[in-house]
Amino acid sequence: MDAPLLNGVDTSEPLIAAVNVPGEEGDYPPITSFKDATSVYWSESVKLWKIGGPLVFNILCQFGTNSLTNIFVGHIGDLELSAISISLSVIGTFSFGFLLGMGSALETLCGQAFGAGQVFMLGIYMQRSWIILLMSCLVLLPIYIFAAPLLKLLGQDHDIAVLAGKFTLLTIPQLFSLAINFPTQKFLQAQSKVDVLAWIGFLALIEHVVLLWLFISVFGWGLLGAAAAFNFTSWLVAIAQLVYVFGWCKDSWSGFSWAAFKEIWAFVRLSIASAVMLCLEIWYMMSITLLAGHLSNAVIAVGSLSICMNINGIEAMIFIGINAAISVRVSNELGLLHPRAAKYSVCVAVVQSLVIGLLSMVVILVARDYFAVIFTDSEVLQQAVSRLAWLLGVTMVLNSIQPVISGVAVGGGWQSTVANLNLACYYAFGLPLAIILGYVADFGVMGIWGGMIAGTALQTIILLIILYRTNWTKEVEETSSRMRKWGGQEIKTDKIANSI
């Protein structure tokens, strides 16, 4: 590999020394004392949460629309709760993961363009992403139309599948809102305009509660009311983001352009690479609910799992926000030729995420007999959830680390490595083990979930080893060529470094 150039100077050898010029802001010096470690930890924590805080809040608000929909429907009946859980956790999560992965390509390209001073390109990139995601929605549409027979084919209970199919059909408008929502969100995130995303998410969550109460509790529309509220809230978020972009992002948005159709295949390639990595993670957890639908008492099995997955999902949204924040931190520092800063930011994020995961597990174990009341009035379901609480706690700890490392992968360009690892640990090891424990060994829901946890644990251990052995100076050297390859464009290293 050719040595990287900074203003025409070879920086491959004296990289660390070059950035540690006295009086200039550069890479961190080596940590030689506890005071140094404390200083770095505090500095990186501030940088991480300045980006991650608003993103975590926004994502929690978005996830809240799903959880609140489950809560309101759960008080209608057990069958309705199981049906909507299957729809949202299987069909909805499938499409959500695919579209979010396709939209994540924008995270790399917008960040690169913004760092290189090519702010005007952000709008072009966003339009290309809209086109790709709208086409992706058309590809996903048959899954929504034929959701009921598809769920039956997958072995789901007949009554649950029929009702879930009806609800899925009603939520087709929400699918297309994601094609606008995700690219616009990445567009704003690349410019650190994250506060507006938090405000939009918060106001939409309040509006969603009002609509659910009105449509379900007052008008008595049942699942129709839940779907109507779900669709309206999703499009409200998408439109609000568009209004902000068109009205307050004059530098990065100059109007619609035919240039959005140029180099679109480079976008498609990067979109698919990002989608594969993310989808393998999201669909793995989705399959737990799908496998539970094959058990003898499917209504209770799916219902109890859906409650646990909703609680786990709330915690997972925190780490998705940290995922985005650490992705920005790592990519920025690699672009700035700061290998130690990239390494230290990863260490701080992993430590803080692990602490949050452990605290979440403690809370779940303490409240194991009570938190299910929020979702259902059924004592049978409440008892089933209580028995699964310890598995939920372990899952929360493991899932506190994994999303953070995925964020590092996006920032450092390791998508293919993580995707292959996910395929091996999740689908070659974890999923078969879950089937054996759940059905062959007849451990039911606990066996299925235990097998899935084993796959996640194996993947997490391997990822931590990879992180420990990473040569961050080499990552700095490879960043520029990797980004040019993924972006399908030529942006010189010296331009990126100077603009940042």
The predicted model scores a pTM of 0.75
Question: Which pLDDT tens digit goes with each residue over 117-173?
Answer: 677 888 988 999 999 999 999 999 999 999 999 998 877 888 989 999 999 999 999
What's the pLDDT at 480?
A: 59
At residue 165, the pLDDT reads 95
**pLDDT of res. 149:** 94
The pair of structure tokens assigned to 384 is 């089933």
Q: What is the pLDDT of residue 197?
A: 92
Taking the C-alpha atoms of residue 376 and residue 388, their distance in angstroms, rounded to an integer, is 16
Which run of H or E residues covers position 10? strand 9-10
At residue 116, the pLDDT reads 55
Q: Which residue has the tokens 């379901």?
A: 381
pLDDT of the residue at 71: 87
Q: SS3 of 5, please? A: strand
C-alpha pair distances (Å), 363 with each of 76, 316, 367, 396: 28, 15, 6, 11
Nearest to 174 by CA among 69, 101, 275: 69
What the block records as the tokens of 68 is 């609140």
- List pLDDT tens digits, range 114-132: 655 677 888 988 999 999 9
Closest residue by Cα to residue 405 from 361, 466, 357: 466
Domain boundaries, given as residue ranges, for the chain = 31-499
* Residues of the chain scoring pLDDT < 70: 1-26, 108, 111-117, 335, 410-413, 415, 478-500
**Residue 251, class by beta-carbon neighbours within 10 Å (0-12 exposed, 13-18 middle, 19+ buried)?**
exposed
